[in-house]
Chain A
Amino acid sequence: MPDLEERLDAIYENILDYEAKQVAELVKSEVEAGTDLQIILDDALIAAMDEVGDLFSEGVLFVPEMLMAANAMKAGMEILRPLLTDSDIPSAGKVVIGTVHRDIHDIGKNLVGMMLEGGGFEVIDLGVNVAPDEFVEAAAKHSPDIIGMSALLTTTMPNMPKTIDALHKANFEGKIIIGGAPVTLEFAETIGSDAYAPDASAAVVLARGMLTNG
């Protein structure tokens, strides 16, 4: 049997090769071999995703590659999750995301959500056409660190400040980020959101930066 280092490397490499099934199997046999769960987590799964994140930010990896690596990492996590206590489960943070009221454009929102998941965030996707009240309810239910809103229509952009108002009234204390083709930095600033990102890769960097910088 190869030594631990080599076995952890194999998990790491399989994540970088998007081999979800392999990752699951390797993690399973590692658990069976009695390896410390925290070591599997930190030195294989998280280490691989950090590398993936860096490669993506540097423009080496493309969107689907990042997403597939995230899937492979998730397959490993599924094995560990039942064995870990809640506090041991790593999360870069919790994000609630949705497309605002009367807007059904979803692909940008989906992509941002998936990329954030890939970046280690727990993501709760509320779908499209999400009314301010529904954002408020989700904020109460999930206590996210970040709420992300997407709007693709100039007609639905005003639903962003409306939602922000509603969230503030409900004393939501997390960060609020927004995006979508017609959304600009200027708009983000005038409506009192915390930040804006022009695309999904920027969104991951943004979200990570927000939580590490407080």
Chain B
Amino acid sequence: MVSDMRRSRRERKIGDKANKSPQTQPVKGSSFSLPPTLGAPGFAFLDNTRIDQLRERTFSLLEEHGVFIDHEEAVKTLKKAGARISNDGKRIHFPRFLVEQVIEDTPKSVTLCGKTEEWDHALPDPEGRFIMRTGTGAHGFIDGETGNYRKLKMTDVATIAAVGNHLDQIGFISHPFVNGVPERTSDIHGFAELVTLTPKHVWIQPYETENVEYLMRICALAAGGESALRKRPIASCIATSFTPLELKQMDVEAIIQASSYGLAIHACSLPTAGGTAPITMPGTVVLAAAEILSMLIVTQIVGSGTAVIATPLIFALDMRTGRSLQSSIEVMQGVSMSLQLMKQGFGLLTHTYGSGSDTPDVDSQSNAERSLLGQLVALSGADILGGVGQLECATVFSPVQAIIDNEIGQMLQSFLRTPDMDDESFAWDLLKEIPQGGNFLANQHTLKHCRATLDPQVFLRQARDTYEAENRRNVQEHARDIFRSILKKDPLANLPDEATIREIKKVVKAGDAKILD
């Protein structure tokens, strides 16, 4: 492994370079007229006509078929705002004017706050970058040291926090599923542990309606009180629709409660193409979009209007076995389309899996799938790439994989920095003077830019002899070295103090007492 000194020098240099390169601004939120050219960064899977078609279908699905909403209060409020309720009283039809108005009123930017400003992330990133997030909900763990699979336990939360804390691409961290604590309050236990171990922004994924309140209380304690939390929301919260076209009680409740604390909502739809959604991706994309927009409307009208991050997580059924897939090539198409629709079609912030694989282990398939997925998602302009460390279709976490993912993330960020087109980047003076047989090895221009190239810490570039001499060490073993070094590092500063941790533990206990009864 390269020494820290060299590493920091590289980071400094790359940092300098990053500051200098002008970035194209992400498309800002006009929701009703498409920008004349596709936005930055430039991967245009769909042309404007196709984006328009997806958008029109989304509007008509919302208006003509509507969404089933299982929450009386919310339905009443939506009706007042102009939504049409069909006879059974729960299917809500959203007229186009209402959807358009809400999209327009929705905040188009948000800062995901850490416990101190140093860890804040403004979205969209002013330089057109993305941030990454660790995989959520995993109940299985690939031990970083042995590489063996086992159930994820409480001490692994500390490992996930440590890895998340020290990897530069990780903007925020989510809680896994923890075994060995009462199952029904596992989200509360896992979140309480995580929030005390990281100064970075954290993600809340409630498992039950009644757990939401305790998660919020813990969050407020970690932020230094409710008003401190409102000022600097150190967490954001997921709400998921029940595909096809339904919002359950818990999710409406999560939206209401989280937005009352000012937390941003990741409005998430998880359609399974061929299962809960059409097998053809345009249908799945439109279905997901309609669900996400319905959550957006609920947030703006029933909640208190906090930021919403459109989070299409597209899945597909394997037609041979009926298993759920997150990284099939059709899913990647669907995700690319969804991102373009959400970003360019509706002007919203976006979040999806930018990593993750359907294979159970940190193997070649895993790295191929996540690299493909990551590229498409990053190039489609997603603001957040989730799924770091995630395996087996979002059910397993591997810290070693997370370290590899971080480096893939660095590569993608480097790629996204559109090169300048000026004399300096053309090396124009040199090009014009290069003699026959000349080279660019030792000149000022190469020296000046040599540290702007990505210097990988995990990916290898050895010659065969070195490879053999090192007993064929591969990427995984390098990543494992880094994993070990991370575990030896001191915890980061600005974590909740002992007194706060005690208070948090009391809330966990209170949650157990109430919920497990």
Contacts and interface: CB of A to CB of B under 8 A. Distances in A.
B208 A102 contact: yes
Contacts of B207: 153, 155
Given A63-B317, A155-B186, A111 B139 contact: no
A154 B186 contact: yes
Interface in A79-121: 102, 104, 107-108, 111, 115
A182 interface: yes
Interface stretch (B87-95, B177-185, B289-297): B177-185
Nearest to A106: B276
Contacts, number: 58
Given A64-B274, A107-B276, A154 B320 contact: no
Contacts of A59: 320
Interface string B181-220: 0011011000000000000000000011000000000000
Interface stretch (B223-231, B321-329, B338-346): B321-329
B176 to A, nearest CB: 10
Given A154-B186, A155-B207, A158-B183, A181 B395 contact: yes
A201 B183 CA distance: 29
A199 B179 contact: no
Given A155-B207, A181-B395, A182-B139, A62 B319 contact: yes
Contacts of A64: 274, 279, 319
A154 B248 contact: no
Interface size classification for chain B: 20 to 34
Given A104-B242, A107-B275, A182 B319 contact: no
A157 interface: yes
Interface string B259-283: 0000000000000101110010000
Contact of A157 (B183, B319, B324, B395): B183
Interface residues of A, number: 23
B248 to A, nearest CB: 7
A181 B208 CA distance: 19
Given A63-B317, A199-B322, A154 B274 contact: no
B44 interface: no
B501 interface: no
B179 A154 contact: yes
A153 B137 CA distance: 9
Given A104-B242, A153-B207, A201-B321, A111 B275 contact: yes
A199 B393 CA distance: 14
Nearest to A201: B321
Interface in B461-481: none
A201 B322 contact: yes
A40 interface: no
Contacts of A156: 183
A181 B320 contact: no
A22 B274 CA distance: 26
Contacts of A198: 323
B517 to A, nearest CB: 15
Interface in A23-80: 59, 62-64
A170 B288 CA distance: 43
A168 B184 CA distance: 24
B324 A181 contact: yes
A200 interface: yes
A154 B180 CA distance: 11
Contacts of B395: 181-182
Nearest to A60: B320
User: Interface SS of chain B: helix, strand, loop or mixed?
Assistant: loop
A154 B177 contact: yes
B68 to A, nearest CB: 13
Contact of A111 (B187, B248, B322): B322
Contacts of A111: 275, 317, 322
A111 B272 CA distance: 13
A115 B183 contact: no
Interface in A179-199: 181-182, 198-199
A73 to B, nearest CB: 19
B320 A63 contact: yes
A157 B395 CA distance: 14
B146 to A, nearest CB: 18
B13 to A, nearest CB: 44
B139 A200 contact: no
Contacts of A102: 184, 208
A202 B321 CA distance: 8
Nearest to A158: B183
Contacts of B140: 182
B248 A104 contact: yes
Contacts of B272: 107
Contacts of B317: 63, 107, 111
B207 to A, nearest CB: 5
Contacts of A154: 139, 177, 179, 183, 186
A199 B274 contact: no
B322 A63 contact: yes
A102 B324 CA distance: 21
B183 A62 contact: no
A115 B321 CA distance: 11
Nearest to B276: A107
Contacts of A200: 321-322
B40 to A, nearest CB: 37
Interface in B382-433: 393, 395
A102 B249 CA distance: 13
Contacts of B393: 181
Contacts of B248: 104
Interface in B279-311: 279
A157 B139 CA distance: 12
A102 B275 CA distance: 21
Which 8 residue pairs of A and B lie closest in terms of their CB atoms, listed nearest first? A200-B322, A62-B319, A107-B275, A155-B183, A199-B321, A154-B139, A154-B177, A111-B322
14 contacts: A62-B320, A63-B274, A63-B317, A107-B272, A107-B275, A111-B275, A155-B177, A155-B184, A182-B139, A182-B140, A198-B323, A200-B322, A201-B320, A201-B322
